[in-house]
Amino acid sequence: MPEVTTNVQPKRTPRFDWDAARILAHNGSTTAEIAKIMGVSVGAVNRVVYESQYNNKTATDNYSLGNTCAEDDCNETITNNAEWCHPHATQRFSKTVRPDTLRCYTCKEWKPDDEFTNDPRRALSRRGKQGRCRACDTASRRDYRRRTRDKR
């Protein structure tokens, strides 16, 4: 069982008596028992009784390592155990982008960039191009109009 701590102070007005919870834990009560007595969740009791639970930081604080992207001339800070920043990781691990061609999501063929329409939302991952080639996009739109003709 982890060591019970008493040096953690509440950040806001507590909903239950923290000192009483710590005393109960020190006397051998389980966190489930304390939670039932105090009328709070087991997680709330854990955060009060065990300092390691209370001092958990937000995900960004916890995972930010202060390292920079491995890509040349990129000073973007990376998080977790990543080697590249998000834009470079997206480019590096994409299975639908090659240096001179893109792969259509529908027909699965590799085609040059000018066969795809522009899509600024995909600026990082697909050089600003849509996922479907122009021919597949046209066919998809025609099929949609045909299927929904009666609903309009």
Every domain of the chain and the residues it spans: 1-56, 59-92, 94-152
Q: What are residue 134's phi and psi, to 5 degrees?
A: -60, -40
The pLDDT value given to residue 58: 41
User: Interior CA angle at 65 toward 95 and 48, to 5°?
Assistant: 115
Q: Read off the pTM.
A: 0.43
Residues 6+ apart with CB under 8 A from 91: 97, 124, 125
Residue 74 Cα distances to 31, 34, 71, angstroms: 47, 51, 6
**From CA 61, how far away is CA 122, in angstroms rounded?**
28
* Per-residue pLDDT tens digits of the chain, which is 152 residues long: 556 555 556 566 667 888 888 889 888 888 899 989 888 888 888 888 876 655 554 444 444 456 777 777 787 777 666 677 777 777 776 777 777 888 898 999 999 989 999 988 877 677 888 889 999 999 999 999 999 988 87
